Structure 1
Amino acid sequence: MSEYYFFYDVKKSYKIEKWFMSNFHGTVILEHSAPITFTIDNTTYTIRFVEESQTIYCIKLYGGDIRPYHKSVIGKIEKFLNKIKNEH
């Protein structure tokens, strides 16, 4: 079963915000951090969590078409979020 994933640690939320700003320089806009919601080219995404595999992945909420480079950006975001989810 998949569901939205929330980072409940304030330090992680701050780290996520800082990471988005330093890696995407405004091309990806972090809208919310609970749950993480971000926009690329007027297309909004959020993250989901698969409990069985303990992985975070991104889904499109609404907006335009998913452009080819969105997939590479999303892959980078998923890799980062899966890495920090296990940090203490």
Structure 2
Amino acid sequence: MSEYYFFNGVKKIFEIEKWFKRSFHEIVYLEHTAPVTFTIDRVTYAVRYIEEENLIYTIKLYGNDEDIKSYHKAIRKRVEKFLNILKDMG
């Protein structure tokens, strides 16, 4: 079963905010850090977690499918990679 993933600790939340700003500038808007939600072209994505696999992944939370561009997948993969690394850090 998958659930939303919540990062514990202010330091990790600040790292997430700084990384989003540095990596995506105005392409991606970070909505929240608990749980992580972000918007690309009026489509909002959320971070989910599969406990059995210890894996964070993204899902489309809401938005129009017409607004989903081809580069959304690449951005989502970058976000997933970063958050999975951050999750495993002490």
TM-score, length of structure 1 as denominator length? 0.97
Counterpart of 2:71 (choices 61, 69, 72) is: 69
List gaps (5 residues or longer) in structure 1.
Answer: none
In the other structure, the counterpart of 2:6 is 6
Q: RMSD over aligned Cα, in angstroms? A: 0.6
Matched, 1:50 2:50: yes
Structure 2: how far apart are the matches of 1:64 and 1:36? Answer: 20
Matched, 1:87 2:89: yes
Residues 1-52 of structure 1: per-residue CA shift (max 9 Å, x gap): 1000000111000000000000001110000000001000000000000011
Structure 1: how far apart are the matches of 2:62 and 2:73? Answer: 15
Amino acid at match of 1:44: T
Amino acid at match of 1:8: N
- Runs of 4 or more, structure 1, over 4 Å off, are none
Structure 2: how far apart are the matches of 1:72 and 1:64? Answer: 18
List gaps (5 residues or longer) in structure 2.
Answer: none
Structure 1: how far apart are the matches of 2:26 and 2:78? Answer: 15
In the other structure, the counterpart of 1:31 is 31
Residues 32-79 of structure 1: per-residue CA shift (max 9 Å, x gap): 000001000000000000011100000001012222110000000000
